[in-house]
Chain A
Amino acid sequence: MMRPKYILVIFLFTIGFLSCKNQIEITESTIHIWLKKDPDKLHPLIFPNPVSREIYQYIHVPLADYNPKTLALEPVLIKEMPIEKAIDSGTYAGGVAFELEFKNEAKWDDGSPITVKDYLFTMKVINLPMTDAGNYRDFTSNIKDIVPDPSNDRKFTVIFGHAYLLSLEAAVNIPLYPKYIYDHLNVLDDYDFKDITDENKEQLQKDVKLVQFAETFNSAAFSREIVSGAGPYKLVSWTADQNIVLEKKADYWADDIDIAELQQGPDKMIFHIIPDEVTAIAQLRNGGLDVINELSAKAYSELENDPVLKEKFDFFHPALIKQYYILLNNSDEILKDRNVRKALAHLLDVNGIIKNFEEGKATRTTGPIHPLKKTNNTDLLPINYDLDSARVLLYNAGWEDSNLDGKLDKNIKGKLINLEIEILITGQELGKNIALLLQENARKVGMDIKITEKDMKLIRAENVRTRKFQLIPSILSQDLQKWDDLSRWVSTNNTPDGGNEISYSNQEVDALINKIPLTHDEVERIAIYKEIQYHIYQDQACIFLYAPEERMVVSKSWKASATAKRPGYLANTFTFAGVGIVK
């Protein structure tokens, strides 16, 4: 038997031998990007998940997309943006049409041109009830017909049965799939686009050929192995939970076209899947990663203030199209009083929250529309932290300290009730901090805030769907589309499975939201959006907090830029700077 000291020596030697700090070799042609989790699927039609989008945006491109700088919808695969044409006569009278034409250069990886057949295939596959493309089906089910131009297979007309708010987005902001790959057996050729509808659902579900096609389309084979689109990069390898490698396509058709989504930058993009932020930052410091985003505020600030790192990295914090807010149950016995809701808003020092928890990188919000949008009502002023105003509002609502015990109370149905409100939070740090601040400030005006921590799924099932809650900090995710869908503020959507989770009800808002699709004048429509926000603001339906900013760090080896478009950057637009971090 060996002496312990020998064993220790061998152990230390092993460590020393193996710890030669060798990192992966990094060249100027390869960019290393951090991913927080495995994207699970790279299949935008059935899995439009933000993590997945970070990768598939380089593989699958839509007909038109939001410009990363202007955030306006602009052509990608099509020649120009179509103009909406009203249909006055014929089968589709009352509907609208869009004429589209693919770029002459646009082609797939096998060299074949992108044609109306691919568009028809993509739309058929979305509308087929057995595929998992339910997210898009909501929009495309409004398309009544797709008419190819007999003389040009790149040109076609998309017809909607009626004027629809998001009809342009539904027609062009759809990732286009190559038919020759995803339907190489031409299964869908036997079915007319007009036959694949909800009305024929039962018949379609009995069709064995279609069922098998849908199963294959939804399968891992088309989500992880065969992933192909018209974008500038192709999938080379995917090691689950470890890394994903994309490579620049050779002889790419869009080489001479100046459109961000079609640009080719680094030869290779390697996405490293690292769930822990500390580990990812350690990799960044050592040159193992070139890009990290979605950093916590604290970590970002620490990196940004490190003088050594300032020389090696660029720091970006573009706006994020989302905002934090607190759901208030408008049907709750206490919260149905607008004064109480307003008082709660005055109890939160939102500027302090932004300063302390976001390192100052956020914008205050006053309503459901993001501050970056034209439709945002800038006349509405953020509600200030003001304990006196809160006291007055609560007094107006009938809450006073009648028994002088330091707590506000009210006589409800002959019973003296103390003002107690419950806030439901998940394990998220920010929600917890906001709840604690609210609790502390509420105590100063004689209100008790009870904090209950629960799993989000449990909150949804037990509290939100049953409307048995009072306050829940939440995130309002939004899209870049010009006209926001405000249906969640309509009172008829106050159903257990409807979007109006706070039971908000205002007849004027209902009427205004119904008026939006009927108003075609842009200026007038913007005015309606602003008026809706005014009413929601006056009602204090929710406590709108702020729109956070993305926190992204990129190695100076790359000339990079940031955008408000998710995920905050387009790595294909990065060029090698040849300076910065020594690798």
Chain B
Amino acid sequence: MLIFLLKRIFLFVPTLLLIVILAFFLSKMTPADPVETMLQMQGVTQDNNRSKQEYARIYQLLHLDKPDFYFSVIPDFYPDNVSQIIHQDNRHLAKSLLKQRIPYRSILQYLNAKDAFLTTAMADTILSKTLSTVIHKVQFENNVDQLVQMTKIRDTSDLLDESLVNAIVNMEQSRKSIYYPTFRWHGLDNQFHYWIKNLLKGDFGISSKDSRQVLPKVSIAMTWTLLLTILSLVFSILISVPFGLWSGMKEGSFFDKANRTLWLIFYAIPVFWLASMLIIYFTSDRFGSWMHIFPTPGLWYVPDGQSVLKSFFSFSNQLILPILVLIANDIAPLSTLIRNNVIEQKSKPYVLMAIAKGLSIRQILYKHILPNVMLPLITVVGGRFAASMSGALIVEVIFNIPGMGRLMFDSIYAADWNVVFAILMVLAVIAMLVLTISDILYAWADPRIRTKSIQL
């Protein structure tokens, strides 16, 4: 058992690292530009004359001008680091031209010629229709063939300056037909290193959304989600175990059929709909005061001087509906699992022996069958716990619970990657811990597994 545990713990670190690296590169692939998101939050729009300067400032502040990782494997005509182009549109254009197999040197020549042309051409405050069209083409066209085509049309090419035409022709002529992959070492001055270095010091950084330290922010959210998940699982087990046991024991009876149908109906109802219906019908006097059974969720305010006990009850009664919604979704799979296992167990010789001994059904169920059906339940509950931690989003939004699901959703939307990475790591650690614990419980519940692991 000790070796098994050590092995599990030993696997924690590489698994976490893998998750972190994967998440880091996935974040790089998202279309959202974190700088644009931050500028938007600061009220700097495209109409702002200083938007380029502000973009450059934040871009460098976030180290986005550095390479992504310690090394890269790229085609031989690529630059070491295309992210060093701070100007957003030139960077996108360079990336697009690189994909068209244009060597970086030719791209730089083109970018310089293009900027020089645009500065001169747009110096005039009122542009003629033809010049406007040419400027538009130069600004937005990123296809080399189309650019070359433009230089061949007389009306257009007359308005272009010589260096720009030369740069376009040069791009076409220098286009690579054969290229090789190359390995580039970027050293420690890269984005991932800056982040992981702070992480190893225990610094998860600050949230780009509200400038708060990430760790306390995630911890508060985690408390809510843990509370919700644990409570819902406890109630799910408390309800599904007896229902599953009796349903299995009375297979085919009215109770069995009614039990399965009822929980399946709850399971089939979409969570957001069930949650909204419960709020609409059971939290106000709108449909009669007798329907007003539950407190309206969503207010977590503690007035000054309110006693701890009163606060506890006002908070805990608001958790009833979210827990009900979560367990409504959990009971069907859990009770079905138990029921099916009971059906399988009840024809086993030890049950027949117990019946022959004259034990009551309740004794057979709880003393003999239950320990045996607990084994698959432990695995399933472990898995559901980990899944519930990350899957409580809808419930958290509708019932206004400031948990991790809501935080994760808001952070992804705001490209607040420091928070997203921290949540991913917390979820990964919790998932690994829960699965390890369920393995231990499994071994504890089944002596055969214990013996097997000792023998190993």
Contact = CB atoms under 8 A, between A and B. Distances in A.
Interface string B48-83: 111111110100000000000000000000000000
B50 A40 contact: no
A279 B136 contact: no
Nearest to B118: A495
Contacts of A137: 50, 54
Contacts of A208: none
Interface string A264-287: 000000101111101110110110
Contact of B39 (A3, A134, A275, A488): A134
A5 B314 CA distance: 27
B206 A467 contact: no
A507 interface: yes
Nearest to A34: B298
A279 B197 CA distance: 43
Contact of B128 (A46, A138, A458, A507): A507
A278 B47 contact: no
Given A275-B406, A455-B31, A495 B54 contact: no
Contacts of A499: 45-47
B407 to A, nearest CB: 8
A15 B239 CA distance: 14
B303 A24 contact: yes
A487 B31 CA distance: 28
A467 B135 CA distance: 13
Contacts, number: 232
Nearest to B289: A21
A494 B127 CA distance: 11
A497 B402 contact: no
Contacts of A487: 47
Interface in B124-177: 125-129, 132, 135-136, 139-140, 142
A283 B362 CA distance: 46
A462 B51 contact: no
B301 A40 contact: no
B296 interface: yes
Nearest to B292: A21
A75 interface: no
A275 B313 contact: no
A492 B132 CA distance: 8
Contacts of A41: 210-211
Contact of A7 (B46, B239, B313): B239
Interface stretch (B178-186, B383-391, B393-401, B431-439): B393-401
Interface string A483-515: 001011001101111110101010100110010
A551 B425 CA distance: 41
Given A47-B43, A141-B50, A219-B211, A19 B400 contact: no
Contact of B210 (A11, A133, A223): A223
A203 to B, nearest CB: 15
Contacts of A457: 31-33, 36-37
Contact of B126 (A130, A465, A511): A511
A18 interface: yes
Nearest to B142: A466
Interface stretch (B4-12, B103-111, B276-284, B349-357): B276-284
B31 A458 contact: yes
B44 interface: yes
A7 B293 CA distance: 20
B246 A239 contact: no
Interface in B69-124: 88-89, 92, 118, 122
A220 B209 CA distance: 10
B24 interface: no
A132 interface: yes
B217 A331 contact: no
A272 B301 contact: yes
Given A224-B210, A274-B400, A505 B129 contact: yes
B400 to A, nearest CB: 5
Contacts of B31: 455, 457-458, 461-462
A465 B88 CA distance: 10
A276 B397 contact: yes
Nearest to A50: B43
Contact of B286 (A11, A285, A460): A285
Contact of B397 (A275, A497, A507): A275
A241 B402 contact: yes
Interface in A135-193: 135, 137-138, 141
B146 to A, nearest CB: 12
B279 A492 contact: no
Contact of A279 (B125, B129, B400): B400
B406 A497 contact: no
B316 interface: yes
Contacts of A129: 53, 57
Contacts of A286: 283-285, 296
B188 interface: no
B299 A282 contact: no
A457 B31 CA distance: 7
A384 B88 CA distance: 41
Given A11-B238, A497-B88, A507-B128, A18 B317 contact: yes
B402 A242 contact: yes
A274 to B, nearest CB: 5
A38 B400 CA distance: 12
Contacts of B33: 457, 461
Interface in A457-489: 457-458, 460-462, 465-467, 485, 487-488
Contact of A514 (B42, B48, B126, B317): B126
Nearest to B363: A1
A278 B280 contact: yes
A4 B140 contact: no
B262 interface: no
16 contacts: A4-B242, A7-B238, A49-B41, A129-B53, A134-B50, A134-B53, A138-B50, A239-B301, A276-B397, A278-B398, A286-B285, A457-B33, A495-B118, A498-B46, A503-B136, A514-B126
Given A11-B239, A130-B57, 15 more contacts: A24-B299, A40-B210, A134-B57, A270-B301, A276-B398, A278-B280, A279-B400, A282-B283, A282-B298, A285-B285, A457-B37, A491-B126, A497-B46, A507-B126, A510-B125
Interface pairs A-B: 4 shortest CB-CB: A4-B242, A241-B402, A135-B43, A134-B54
